[in-house]
Amino acid sequence: MSTANVFTKWIIIRSGFLQSKGNVGNGCVNILRSLELEYGSKGTRIELENWDDDTEHTAEYIYQLSSKENPPDVAIFAFSWGCGYGFINLARSLQKRGIDVKYAVLCDPVYYGLAKWRALIPKTLYSKVYITVPGNVKEVFWLRQNVSKPAGHDLRAESPYTCIHEPIILDVKHTDADNSPQFMALCNEVAAKLMAGPRVI
């Protein structure tokens, strides 16, 4: 595949539970709109996906439409189960293909696994539940709230080389977190960092 036919930068947005592209008022759709207007161009791909879309399919799509010699720069922006399921599994699917996640922005990340009830446990037990960030993720920015349940769970890095920043605290309910101006601003800030790197075409 020639360099004219590959994407060098990818931003994947994973929405939360019960959200979809059809919910035009949700925060993830608004972030897509903002990023497309600013950064949508030749060589850059911005995708909006449901929280539980098949991550193997997405990873293979990225792999096939990117240079094999020079892996693409990838950022994942996610909300709620889009973090605890979508982001985590997509990062692992990309890892199998030798692709790193340069940046992640996680908004009120909620644990997802066999014991889904952990998302609703009392605050006193929250420290016992955490989301493990895969080793191919380089830098994580995140936001959380403690106003309602579910609420963002702690993050732990699988690799000592992963940088997880201190969270931004939101004063909103979980269902409103993705529409917070702080999430929008952080996604735009990190997208600018991603675009600042070398670009081809």
> Structural domain boundaries of the chain?
3-195
pLDDT of residue 117: 46
How far is 201 from 103, CA to CA, in rounded Å?
Answer: 22
Contact present, 50 and 117 (Cβ < 8 Å): no
Q: Where are the beta strands (DSSP E) in 50-194?
A: 73-79, 101-107, 130-133, 137-145, 154-157, 163-164, 168-170
What average pLDDT is seen over the chain? 87
Q: What is the pLDDT of residues 30-87, one digit of tens each?
A: 899 899 988 888 789 999 999 999 999 999 999 999 998 999 999 999 999 999 999 9
pLDDT of residue 73: 97
Calculate ∠ Cα 37-72-133, nearest 5°.
Answer: 95
Contact present, 151 and 173 (Cβ < 8 Å): no
Q: Are strands 101-107 and 73-79 parallel, antiparallel or unpaired?
A: parallel
User: Which amino acid is residue 197, in one-letter code?
Assistant: G
Domain spanning 3-195 has what CATH number? 3.40.50.1820
User: Which amino acid is residue 183, in one-letter code?
Assistant: F
24: left (phi over 0), alpha (psi -120 to 50) or beta: alpha
Name the pTM for this structure. 0.89
How far is 173 from 145, CA to CA, in rounded Å?
Answer: 7
